[in-house]
Protein backbone atom coordinates (compact mmCIF):
# COMPACT_ATOMS: atom_id res chain seq x y z
CA UNK A 1 0.00 0.00 0.00
CA UNK A 2 1.41 3.37 -1.03
CA UNK A 3 0.40 6.98 -0.42
CA UNK A 4 2.00 9.79 -2.38
CA UNK A 5 3.25 13.01 -0.82
CA UNK A 6 4.34 16.42 -2.01
CA UNK A 7 7.63 17.83 -0.78
CA UNK A 8 8.33 21.54 -1.00
CA UNK A 9 11.35 23.49 0.16
CA UNK A 10 10.33 26.19 2.61
CA UNK A 11 13.16 28.27 4.01
CA UNK A 12 15.80 25.69 4.93
CA UNK A 13 13.39 22.74 5.45
CA UNK A 14 11.75 20.22 3.14
CA UNK A 15 8.04 20.13 4.08
CA UNK A 16 6.06 16.96 3.42
CA UNK A 17 2.30 16.93 2.90
CA UNK A 18 -0.02 14.07 1.97
CA UNK A 19 -3.01 15.28 -0.10
CA UNK A 20 -4.93 12.10 0.84
CA UNK A 21 -4.15 12.58 4.56
CA UNK A 22 -4.37 16.32 5.33
CA UNK A 23 -3.36 15.85 9.00
CA UNK A 24 -0.10 14.09 8.01
CA UNK A 25 2.55 16.82 7.75
CA UNK A 26 6.23 16.62 8.58
CA UNK A 27 9.56 18.02 7.46
CA UNK A 28 13.20 17.10 7.04
CA UNK A 29 16.53 18.83 6.77
CA UNK A 30 17.21 17.16 3.40
CA UNK A 31 15.13 15.45 0.74
CA UNK A 32 16.25 12.02 2.01
CA UNK A 33 15.43 12.94 5.59
CA UNK A 34 12.04 14.33 4.49
CA UNK A 35 11.16 11.02 2.78
CA UNK A 36 12.22 9.08 5.89
CA UNK A 37 10.07 11.35 8.06
CA UNK A 38 7.20 10.99 5.56
CA UNK A 39 7.11 7.23 6.11
CA UNK A 40 7.23 7.73 9.87
CA UNK A 41 4.36 10.22 9.99
CA UNK A 42 2.25 8.24 7.50
CA UNK A 43 2.55 5.01 9.52
CA UNK A 44 1.92 6.90 12.76
CA UNK A 45 -1.23 8.62 11.48
CA UNK A 46 -2.61 5.41 9.95
CA UNK A 47 -1.92 3.39 13.12
CA UNK A 48 -3.55 6.10 15.22
CA UNK A 49 -6.62 6.13 12.97
CA UNK A 50 -6.87 2.33 13.23
CA UNK A 51 -6.46 2.46 17.03
CA UNK A 52 -9.17 5.07 17.42
CA UNK A 53 -11.59 3.79 14.78
CA UNK A 54 -11.26 6.92 12.63
CA UNK A 55 -12.04 6.68 8.93
CA UNK A 56 -9.04 6.28 6.65
CA UNK A 57 -9.09 7.72 3.17
CA UNK A 58 -7.95 5.51 0.30
CA UNK A 59 -4.80 6.60 -1.52
CA UNK A 60 -5.89 8.46 -4.66
CA UNK A 61 -3.24 11.13 -5.24
CA UNK A 62 -0.70 9.98 -7.86
CA UNK A 63 1.66 12.94 -7.98
CA UNK A 64 4.70 13.71 -5.89
CA UNK A 65 6.68 10.98 -4.16
CA UNK A 66 5.43 7.48 -3.28
CA UNK A 67 5.70 6.45 0.38
CA UNK A 68 5.20 2.78 1.26
CA UNK A 69 3.05 1.94 4.30
CA UNK A 70 4.69 -0.53 6.71
CA UNK A 71 3.52 -4.14 6.20
CA UNK A 72 2.08 -4.35 9.74
CA UNK A 73 -0.02 -1.21 9.31
CA UNK A 74 -1.10 -2.18 5.79
CA UNK A 75 -2.11 -5.71 6.88
CA UNK A 76 -4.12 -4.45 9.86
CA UNK A 77 -5.83 -1.89 7.65
CA UNK A 78 -6.65 -4.35 4.86
CA UNK A 79 -7.93 -6.93 7.33
CA UNK A 80 -10.21 -4.37 8.95
CA UNK A 81 -11.55 -3.32 5.54
CA UNK A 82 -12.16 -6.94 4.55
CA UNK A 83 -14.06 -7.64 7.77
CA UNK A 84 -16.45 -4.77 6.94
CA UNK A 85 -19.73 -5.31 8.84
CA UNK A 86 -18.74 -8.60 10.48
CA UNK A 87 -17.64 -8.61 14.10
CA UNK A 88 -14.16 -9.65 15.13
CA UNK A 89 -15.76 -12.48 17.10
CA UNK A 90 -17.55 -13.83 13.99
CA UNK A 91 -14.35 -13.83 11.95
CA UNK A 92 -12.35 -15.40 14.79
CA UNK A 93 -14.84 -18.27 15.02
CA UNK A 94 -14.68 -18.87 11.26
CA UNK A 95 -10.87 -18.88 11.42
CA UNK A 96 -10.80 -21.26 14.40
CA UNK A 97 -9.06 -18.82 16.72
CA UNK A 98 -9.94 -16.92 19.86
CA UNK A 99 -11.36 -13.42 19.71
CA UNK A 100 -8.16 -12.10 21.32
CA UNK A 101 -5.97 -13.79 18.71
CA UNK A 102 -7.98 -12.21 15.93
CA UNK A 103 -8.04 -8.85 17.67
CA UNK A 104 -4.22 -8.79 17.65
CA UNK A 105 -4.25 -9.23 13.88
CA UNK A 106 -6.10 -5.95 13.42
CA UNK A 107 -3.74 -4.12 15.78
CA UNK A 108 -0.91 -2.51 13.74
CA UNK A 109 1.36 -2.57 16.82
CA UNK A 110 0.90 -6.30 17.49
CA UNK A 111 0.02 -8.01 14.23
CA UNK A 112 2.41 -10.71 13.07
CA UNK A 113 0.37 -13.35 11.26
CA UNK A 114 1.77 -16.69 10.21
CA UNK A 115 1.42 -17.81 6.62
CA UNK A 116 -1.14 -20.35 7.78
CA UNK A 117 -3.22 -17.60 9.40
CA UNK A 118 -3.03 -15.45 6.28
CA UNK A 119 -4.12 -18.45 4.21
CA UNK A 120 -7.16 -19.02 6.48
CA UNK A 121 -8.14 -15.35 6.31
CA UNK A 122 -7.82 -15.31 2.53
CA UNK A 123 -10.25 -18.24 2.38
CA UNK A 124 -12.71 -16.59 4.78
CA UNK A 125 -12.74 -13.24 2.96
CA UNK A 126 -12.16 -14.66 -0.53
CA UNK A 127 -9.43 -12.11 -1.12
CA UNK A 128 -5.67 -12.06 -1.12
CA UNK A 129 -3.68 -10.34 1.58
CA UNK A 130 -0.33 -11.66 0.42
CA UNK A 131 0.90 -12.42 -3.07
CA UNK A 132 3.73 -14.93 -3.25
In a domain, 38, yes or no: yes
Give the domain extent around 46: 2-68
**For position 131, what pLDDT does the model report?**
57
- Residue 45 belongs to a domain with what CATH number? 3.30.160.250
Instruction: Give, in order, the Cα–Cα distances in Å from 12 to each of 33, 35, 40, 86, 109.
Output: 13, 16, 21, 49, 34
In a domain, 131, yes or no: no
- Residue 81 belongs to a domain with what CATH number? 1.10.260
Same-domain check for residues 78 and 63 = no
Percent pLDDT > 70 in the chain is: 98
**Considering its fold, how many domains does the chain have in total?**
2
In a domain, 33, yes or no: yes
In a domain, 132, yes or no: no
Mean pLDDT for the chain? 93
**End residue of a domain, out of 45, 68, 91:** 68
**For position 129, what pLDDT does the model report?**
81
**For position 93, what pLDDT does the model report?**
95
Say if residues 96 and 120 touch (Cβ distance below 8 Å): yes
pLDDT band at 132 (very low <50, low <70, confident <90, very high): very low
Same-domain check for residues 82 and 62 = no
52 burial class (0-12, 13-18, 19+ CB within 10 angstroms)?
exposed
Same-domain check for residues 49 and 97 = no
How does pLDDT run across 88-99, given as a tens digit for each residue?
Answer: 999 999 999 999
Q: What is the pTM of this model?
A: 0.86
How does pLDDT run across 62-118, given as a tens digit for each residue?
Answer: 999 999 999 999 999 999 999 989 999 999 999 999 999 999 999 999 999 999 999
pLDDT score of 11 more than 80 = yes
Helix axes 71-83, 31-52, angle to 10 degrees: 30
Q: Strands (DSSP E) along the chain, which ranges?
A: 2-10, 13-18, 21-28, 65-68
Amino acid sequence: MTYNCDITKENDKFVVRFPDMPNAVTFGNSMENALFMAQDVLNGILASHIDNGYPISEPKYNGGYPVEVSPKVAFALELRKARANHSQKEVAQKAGMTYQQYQRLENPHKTNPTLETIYKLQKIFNRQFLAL
